[in-house]
């Protein structure tokens, strides 16, 4: 499970980290990685996107063997780049090839508005790993005409015909992930996890017929396959060597073998060996064995995430999107946050949950701040800021999980942030002052609590199936909202002060609550189109949490909606009572998950998390017009350049920053163009 960050306002309102100019200096919680002070973070800005750079502080302190390990893992990740493009939409690779051929070979007039619009469209496609927006899931609309595109195709000798050509301009496959059941969750989604003619009912019935060898340790059926119809029968095309995406997977295996050869310890090598075996066989039992080995591999300076993991892009929550993150430990911050790991059972024991939904023993939670050295697939260019894995409930219960905060990514976001929206949307000066003093810290602690305590908390009732089976399309947003609620409940707990994580838990909690309500009910709406409802799982969870407590809180005088000078604000009048409401909602959300109560999940999300107040939305967009910073951000990756001796042995690896977004995208297409255009 991952937390993604989007650089909208500097409000803390944007998920979990903001306010780069906060003055909090608490040695128990804040540690700074060494950064180049004159580093140029911004690379490009277009449409609603800002592209940034990040540094790899401490790279020069790694041993050569560790640098090699990082390099091999990065290369393994990039070798699967084409997979996410094909998973996102069946025609993406053909369209990308055509657009890039035009971009690199067209020698006509490049000073026109049409050409500028073509460049912007290509950059948007690059950023989203396909023709659908990375966040809204809507198909990207080009701002150039079909006639102009025909001219570009003709003058560059580019071949793009049939549906891959037509879909750029028509209304077909307009939504990558559709969560409106009336349109068909599978039939209405363009994502390439299911073949033609496969319905949501087909998928559910097919996987309902799959029985795990051990019912108490269910396999993740559907995680690494595409379900298609052949001769009227449902068949899985498994992602593996010799199977679907086999050519890219073989290259991933090649680099993972090299990584295994320079592993830091035997545990790490054993984990890599299991991952390689999983890629070779596609065996889901091996996948579970790998995840157990990966969770238990906690020694060493280098770690990684690689494979088909998060299921947010599957409207039914079965199939994992390909992703890769390679990370180096940030020892200072990880040590300071270890206090949460050591006290995770206290948080579980004192959570406002039904006793039968609490874990007697929360096993093996680890939380580290890490330095990202490279990302690929679904983690790039748009990246999470925090990750908690594995996703399997039974593995988490029996073996624990790893939570990481991507420190240098957060650093880059903070240094590239915009300012001003806080003053526009905050209710009063007290709210602004709290945010400026405690906003950054509250967001860091919310992330830590969300990942370490939230995702590790709670348990399913005996006999209740996996959440993706019971809660279906509502599983992801329920889980993210549940983890958010755990964090919110404890952000105003004196335990944080007792642990030395904050000097004033009440002020910290107030800052966090202001920020969450402000974002959930207002400022996150700048990221969706006028008239639209909310589709994305994380946006939904922030709204249903905020809207539910606002409805209950308004009735009791805990939160009020204020109109002043024609502008809307939300004012919390009783923070302690609001904390109790967060606790009540957490208890109910955990009950829904523990019992697999689909109807209750549907009612909660559809009632509070989907429908947008269009009057508020119009107002927010109008008030936001004064701020020009793009609402979404992502990254180019530093380039690891090996230097070799006469025998071809690596003697050193340099870190080089790319000069432009287009340079990196074209280089990736040149070096990692591995898959056929149709898969």
pLDDT tens-digit map of 1-35: 665 443 333 333 333 322 222 222 222 222 333 34
Residue 225 lies in a domain: no
246 domain-assigned:
no
Domain-embedded: residue 204? no
- In this structure, are 168 and 306 located in the same domain? no
Tokens of 672: 């990692």
Assess if residue 67 is contained within a domain.
Answer: no
328-332, 554-558, 639-643: lowest mean pLDDT where?
A: 328-332
Residues 6+ away with beta carbon under 8 Å from 414? 17, 18, 19, 20, 440
Q: Give the pLDDT score at 31.
A: 31
Q: Is residue 69 part of a domain?
A: no
pLDDT category, 72, cuts 50, 70, 90?
Answer: very high
Check whether residue 380 and residue 414 sit in a common domain.
yes
In a domain, 101, yes or no: yes
Q: Where is the domain boundary, 158, 175, 192?
A: 175
The answer to whether residues 54 and 131 belong to one domain is no
Same domain for 529 and 513? Answer: yes
> What mean pLDDT value characterizes the chain?
91
- Total of domains in the chain: 3
Q: What pLDDT score was predicted for residue 644?
A: 96
pLDDT of 265 higher than 50: yes
pLDDT at 2 (0 to 100): 62
Pair 659, 605 in one domain: no
Query: What mean pLDDT is predicted for residues 250-275?
Result: 98
**Looking at the domain assignment, is residue 587 inside a domain?**
yes
Residue 261 tokens read as 């050869």
Is 404 domain-assigned? yes
Query: What pLDDT, on a 0 to 100 scale, did the predictor assign at position 414?
Result: 73
> Does 591 lie in the same domain as 464?
yes
Residues contacting 123, CB < 8 A, separation 6+: 44, 46, 47, 49, 661, 662
**For the residues 349-367, what does the mean pLDDT come to?**
90
Contact 575, 510 (CB under 8 A): yes
User: 626 and 644: one domain?
Assistant: no
Q: Are residues 503 and 451 in the same domain?
A: yes
The verdict on 514 and 400 lying in the same domain is yes
Domain of residue 543 covers 2-62+301-634
From the centroid of its chain, how far is CA 17?
A: 14
Residue at a domain's end among 122, 149, 175: 175
Structure tokens at 621: 């967009």
Higher pLDDT, 388 or 213: 213
Separation CA 460–CA 596 (nearest Å): 8
Comparing 526 with 571, the larger pLDDT belongs to 571
| Same-domain pairing of 650 and 519 | no
Based on the fold, state whether residues 630 and 643 are members of the same structural domain.
Answer: no
Angle of helix 92-105 versus helix 146-156 axis, rounded to 10: 70
Give the domain-ending residue among 124, 144, 175: 175
State mean pLDDT over 134-158. 97
- The pLDDT confidence band at residue 235, using thresholds 50, 70 and 90, is very high
pLDDT of residue 37: 55
Q: 579: number of CA atoms within 13 Å, CB side?
A: 19
**Which range (192-196, 333-337, 360-364, 565-569) has the least confidence?**
333-337
* Residue % of the chain over a pLDDT of 90: 81
Same domain, 575 and 665: no
């Amino acid at each position: 499970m991952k937390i993604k960050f989007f650089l909208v306002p500097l409000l803390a309102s944007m998920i979990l980290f903001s306010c780069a100019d906060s003055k909090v200096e608490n040695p128990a919680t804040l540690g700074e990685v060494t950064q180049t002070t004159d580093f140029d973070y911004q690379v490009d800005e277009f449409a609603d996107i800002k592209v940034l750079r990040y540094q790899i502080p401490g790279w020069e302190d790694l041993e050569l063997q560790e640098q090699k390990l990082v390099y091999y893992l990065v290369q393994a990740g990039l070798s699967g780049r084409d997979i996410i493009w094909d998973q996102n939409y069946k025609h993406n690779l053909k369209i990308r090839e055509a657009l890039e051929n035009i971009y690199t070979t067209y020698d006509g007039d490049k000073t026109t508005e049409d050409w500028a619009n073509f460049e912007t469209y290509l950059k948007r496609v690059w950023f989203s790993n396909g023709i659908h927006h990375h966040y809204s899931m809507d198909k990207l609309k080009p701002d150039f005409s079909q006639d102009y595109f025909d001219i570009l195709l003709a003058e560059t000798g580019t071949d793009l015909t049939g549906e891959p050509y037509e879909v750029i301009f028509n209304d077909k496959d307009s939504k990558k992930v559709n969560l409106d059941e009336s349109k068909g969750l599978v039939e209405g989604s363009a994502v390439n996890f299911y073949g033609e003619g496969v319905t949501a009912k087909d998928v559910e019935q097919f996987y309902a017929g799959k029985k795990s060898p051990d019912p108490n340790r269910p396999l993740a059926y559907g995680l690494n396959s595409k379900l298609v119809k052949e001769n009227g029968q449902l068949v899985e095309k498994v992602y593996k060597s010799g199977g679907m995406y086999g050519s890219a997977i073989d290259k991933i295996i090649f680099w993972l073998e090299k990584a295994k050869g320079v592993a830091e310890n035997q545990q790490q090598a054993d984990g890599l060996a299991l991952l390689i075996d999983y890629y070779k066989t596609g065996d889901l039992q091996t996948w579970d064995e790998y995840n157990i080995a990966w969770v238990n591999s906690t020694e060493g300076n280098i770690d990684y995430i690689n494979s088909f993991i998060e299921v947010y892009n599957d409207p039914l929550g079965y199939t994992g999107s390909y992703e890769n993150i390679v990370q180096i430990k940030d020892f200072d911050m990880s040590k300071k946050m270890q206090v949460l790991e050591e006290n995770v059972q206290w948080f579980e024991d004192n959570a406002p949950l039904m006793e039968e939904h609490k874990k007697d023993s929360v096993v093996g939670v680890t939380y580290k701040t890490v330095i990202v050295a490279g990302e690929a697939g679904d983690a790039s260019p748009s990246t999470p800021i925090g990750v908690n894995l594995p996703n399997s409930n039974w593995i988490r219960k029996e073996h624990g999980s790893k939570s990481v905060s991507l420190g240098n990514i957060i650093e880059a976001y903070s240094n590239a942030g915009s300012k001003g929206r806080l003053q526009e949307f905050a209710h009063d000066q007290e709210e602004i002052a709290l945010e400026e003093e405690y906003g950054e810290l509250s967001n860091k602690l919310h992330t830590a609590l969300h990942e370490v305590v939230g995702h590790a908390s709670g348990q399913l009732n005996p006999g209740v199936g996996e959440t993706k089976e019971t809660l279906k399309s509502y599983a992801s947003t329920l889980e993210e909202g549940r983890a958010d609620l755990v964090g919110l409940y404890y952000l105003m707990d004196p335990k944080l002060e007792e642990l030395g994580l904050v000097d004033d838990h009440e002020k910290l909690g107030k800052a966090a609550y202001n920020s969450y309500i402000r974002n959930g009910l207002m400022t996150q709406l700048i990221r969706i189109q006028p008239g639209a409802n909310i589709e994305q799982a994380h946006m939904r969870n922030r709204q249903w949490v905020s809207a539910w407590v606002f409805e209950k809180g308004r009735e009791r005088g805990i939160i009020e909606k204020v109109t002043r000078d024609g502008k809307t604000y939300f004012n919390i009048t009783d923070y302690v009572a609001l904390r109790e409401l967060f606790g009540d909602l957490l208890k109910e959300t955990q009950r829904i998950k523990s019992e697999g109560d689909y109807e209750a999940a549907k009612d909660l999300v559809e009632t509070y998390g989907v429908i947008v107040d269009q009057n508020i939305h119009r107002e927010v967009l109008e008030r936001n017009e004064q701020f020009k910073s793009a609402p979404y951000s992502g990254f180019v990756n530093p380039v690891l350049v090996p230097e070799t001796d006469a025998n071809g042995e690596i003697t050193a690896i340099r870190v080089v920053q790319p000069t432009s977004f287009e340079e990196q995208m074209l280089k990736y297409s040149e070096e990692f163009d591995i898959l056929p255009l149709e898969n």
